[in-house]
Structure formats: structure tokens, C-alpha cells
Structure 1
């Protein structure tokens, strides 16, 4: 397996019975008004990560339920940024967050975040099902912040022992430029 490229290693990757999607839509306060449209037009069988950090309590749960109905109808994976217990209670298929907060709940997909090689090692130890490596390109989420760039992204991604999903400034054009099998976006898909 070591001789295969990352793209070849993880194209069609199956984790816990799921083939990991190529496109991942992440929610944010700034794309909230467009999410119904974005989920309905995202090609069937991709994934949605519900973050909605701007909402709390019952309002967050209500919005999750609204968007889950649309995501489920389109065959998208529904992933919650939060703890495993909440994900199970709300009916999410997985969780998203820092590697140290993923827990190990049977039946839940676990997706970690990473920004450098040190964090990739933490994700490897956590044995996550996938990792979001970011920011690849300049992004509105962190204006003026440093980004990995294509070559640094590839170098760090090569250290991962699970599928890597490119995040940060991604859109269809940049995904083609990067030539990476899986990518995620907030603005670039909504």
C-alpha cells in the first residue's frame, strides 16, 4: 500500500460500511440562508457537516432537524460537529471535531480536523475515519491567515493514515487544480 498515491489509496474508501463522499458541505452562520438550496443541489450521496456554532440549545437542534430531513432525502451523510452522545441522540451518522474530542462510540463515523503535521499525528493516534486538513488556500473563515498551499498540503496529507479531505478556500476550480479526490467547503458549495 505504501507505493500507492494518496489519491489512489483513498478513492472509493469504505469506512464503517460507508463509501466516503467526495464533496463535503460545512455549515456556518454565513451560509445558513442558502443551505436548503445547497443541500438540494449537492450531487446525491455526498456529505453535510452541521456546525452552526452561532446557535445554541433548542434553536441549534431545530435547525439540525430541518437540514437533516433535506440531507437524508438526498442520501447525504449527516455529520454533527459536537460530542458523540449528542450525535446519537440527534440521529447523526458521525461527528466532527478536534482529534482529542472524538471519543469512540460504536456506529458513529469520526472525522477530525488538522492544520499541520503534528495534528495529523494526533488524528492517526485517534484512528479517525477521515481528516479535514486546512486551510489549503486563503479562506474567508480566516482572512489574512496563513494557508498550506498545494505542495505543503500534499506533504502533510501523505502522513495521514486515513482519507484526507481538503478544506479551506476550496471550490470546484481549486479542487481541479489541487487534483485531490475529496474536498469540503462552506462558500464554495453554497
Structure 2
């Protein structure tokens, strides 16, 4: 399972394929079509997939059908899909205890616990901080990979490793700290 992940977002725009290409080999990319501009979305997804395959990244998509990807992300409109992904990796966002329980019931491969710290994608949102992250991670880490999300960079992730983080994910963090 990759250690570092990119969450696609409309704020990254056409730079997304370049960011994917600059990530370390075998990283993870979660393609979120609902967080992309509608105009040119299909072509952008193809470019991201091409750049990701060239670096041997794990590619997940937030779509009921994960054809051409390594699995599915249960974010946006696909959060409440009834069946688990039949083949491949399945990820899910976890913001609280209720979502942690759902992730355990669904038996997802990967949980993105967020927001750990303040983030531009959710301005003003209540953050978990280290304690909140550690509480959710302790509940999940025996059964799934735990990824920290929200204000994350490779540097800030080091703080969370001893609290159960198997890795980190970011949107803006890849623009400033690609290692």
C-alpha cells in the first residue's frame, strides 16, 4: 500500500498530471471527478491515469465503476454504495466515530482520517488534531491502512507516525513538499 497519496481537486486544475508525474514512484492517487471542473474532466482523468501508470502509482477513483483503476474511493456521491469493491483497493474518508464504524463494517482497505489540521479545502472546519487523529487511528489500524489527511505534508506526517498513521495524503501539500 502506498505511503503517500494525492487527492485530486479543482484547485490544482491542469497541473494535476504534472503533480502526479512528480510524485515518488508507487505513490497513490485518488481521482475525485466530483472535485474537478466538468469541462475537460474526462481528458484530465485520462492524463492523470497515464501519468500515474508511468510512475506505477496506485490509482483509485471516486466512481461506482472503477474500470481502468486499481480500486474505488467511497467519497462524494459514492460514499454510501451498498456493495464493497469486488476487486482492488477500496478507500473511505473518516471524519468521526460513526464513519470509522462504517469503514470497519464495509471492510475498506484504506481510511483517510481528516481533517487532522486546518486545510484550504475545508476552511473553518473543526480539526481533529493529534489526539482526535490518534483516537480514530487506534480504532481502525488493526483492520485497515490509516492515512492522515488535512493540512498534511511529508514533514507534518512525521508527527503522526507514532499515533498510528501508515501514510499521508494531501491536495496542496504536493505543490510545496513533493518528498
Same fold (TM over 0.5): yes
- 2:159 corresponding residue in structure 1: 177
Contact 2:145 2:166 in 1 (8 A): no
- 1:97 corresponding residue in structure 2: 74
Q: 1:102 offset after TM fit, Å? A: 6.5
Q: 1:63 offset after TM fit, Å? A: 1.3
Q: 1:152 offset after TM fit, Å? A: 1.3
Q: 1:140 offset after TM fit, Å? A: 0.4
Name the CA shift for 1:129/1:181 in 2 (closer, same or farther; >3 Å): closer
2:48 to 67, 70, 78: 67
Q: For residue 80 of structure 2, give the secondary structure of its aligned residue in structure 1.
A: helix
Q: Name structure 1 gaps, 5 residues minimum.
A: 1-19
Q: Name structure 2 gaps, 5 residues minimum.
A: none
2:4 to 23, 30, 40: 23
- 1:153 corresponding residue in structure 2: 133
CA deviation map 1:42-72 (0-9, x unaligned): 110011111142334x832221111101100
Q: 1:35 offset after TM fit, Å? A: 1.6
TM-score, structure 2 normalization: 0.86
- 1:186 corresponding residue in structure 2: 171
Which ranges of 4 or more aligned residues in structure 1 deviate by more than 4 Å? none
Contact 2:92 2:111 in 1 (8 A): yes
Q: 1:144 offset after TM fit, Å? A: 1.4
- 2:108 corresponding residue in structure 1: 128
Distance 2:15 2:173 in 1: 12
